[in-house]
Amino acid sequence: MKKLNIYVIAESFVGEANGVTTAILELFESLKKSDSFNVVDSPNDADIIHAHTIGLDYVFKSFKYKKKMVVSAHVVPDSFIGSLILSELWRPIAKQYLKYVYNRSKEVIAVSPVVKTELEAIGVRSKIHVLCNSVNRQKFSQSNELRATFRKKLNLTNEFVVTCVGQIQPRKGIYDFIDTAKKCPDITFVWVGGTPFKGLTAEYKKLQTVVKDAPKNIIFTGIVDFDDMPGYYAMSDVFFMPSFQENFAFATIEASSVKLPLVLRDNVEYPSSLFTHYLKGKNADEFSAIISKLYQDSDHFNHWQNESETLASKYSLDAYMINLKNIYEGLLNKV
């Protein structure tokens, strides 16, 4: 069977340390390894153009290539609140922009059922598929070797380690993360990620202060290389992300693939993609109680490890690529 030629739009403005970048890197790797696709360098040579970013390059190309374009929707209007400065003021403009750009593609891939609902609510009329992100379980897996290497890197030995992955910003729940650590002084907390957008980040100066004054049982790694991420998960015991809003939290699936119990905020968007396989809280008091029980009760800990394993098994990379191929071929048949 003839391979499909795929051109990927991935504009550099998205930065180097976020879920969109992770999705782009994983897509490139999966397409290149697949027997069904070729990655091409020119949209003229492509059967399908798959956009992961929605900047000017994407908009310009849509005027010529719309009929063979599909765009992954990683961002909805609420994604900006608590992420970038003055987002409450320019959110209405962002909403209109998102409506416009998602309609510039023939079809849209929503990364969760909640995202599809939100896209329909803001007026996206292009055909919308739901295809949640997947995880490479060979890359993200338990590893005693990586666990030892990355614990040594952070000067850790036998500590019980609770890790969050994400940019340091209010939307990600950094303040509750710090308050939870204060309530659990016998546990080590690690935040993997930094502030790549610096002064454009919401509450940037305040964040610098609270990070500087954080308790000593918190380690902030700053921005790390994507290739190192399996090691940071492997050296952890629990994944804790008190984010207030996520379209599809890529990190939760990566963490579940390493069998880390998931402790998340009780957000409305999670049940449709994470089902019942995570522990949930609403504030630092609840988070600290949940994490303390995981620390103290080995049977409870093992149960939630198994829940994470069950979750990860639902997001296999093979199934994702089959579904993606079906979307590509369906679009190609309409060109």
Q: For the segment 244-295, what is each residue's pLDDT rounded down to a tens digit?
A: 988 777 899 999 999 999 999 999 889 989 999 999 999 999 999 999 999 9
pLDDT at residue number 133: 83
pLDDT at residue number 81: 47
pLDDT exceeds cutoff 80 at 335? no
Tell me the average pLDDT across 211-225: 95
Average pLDDT along the chain = 90
Band the pLDDT of 86: cuts 50, 70, 90.
Answer: very low
Q: For the segment 227-252, what is each residue's pLDDT rounded down to a tens digit?
A: 999 999 999 999 999 999 887 778 99
Q: Which two tokens stand for residue 55?
A: 């900047």
Domains and their CATH numbers in the chain: 4-134+316-332 (3.40.50.2000), 144-313 (3.40.50.2000)
pLDDT exceeds cutoff 80 at 91? no
The residue written with tokens 């999966």 in the block is 30
Tell me the average pLDDT across 170-194: 96
Q: For the segment 122-146, what is each residue's pLDDT rounded down to a tens digit?
A: 999 999 999 988 888 999 999 999 9
pLDDT at residue number 319: 87
pLDDT at residue number 19: 63
d(CA 188, CA 104): 46
> Strand pairing of 69-73 and 4-9?
unpaired
Contact 278, 262 (CB under 8 A): yes
Contact 235, 146 (CB under 8 A): yes
pTM: 0.84
Contact 154, 235 (CB under 8 A): yes
Task: Give the whole-number percent of the chain exceeding pLDDT 90.
Answer: 67
Tell me the average pLDDT across 318-330: 93
Band the pLDDT of 1: cuts 50, 70, 90.
Answer: low
Query: What is the distance in angstroms between the CA of the first residue and the CA of the last residue of the chain?
Result: 19
Contact 315, 133 (CB under 8 A): yes
> What is the Cα 80 distance to its own chain's centre?
15
The residue written with tokens 């100066």 in the block is 205
Q: Which two tokens stand for residue 255?
A: 């963490």
Residue 245 or residue 13, greater confidence: 245
Instruction: For helices 250-257 and 298-313, give the axis angle rounded to 10 degrees.
Output: 120
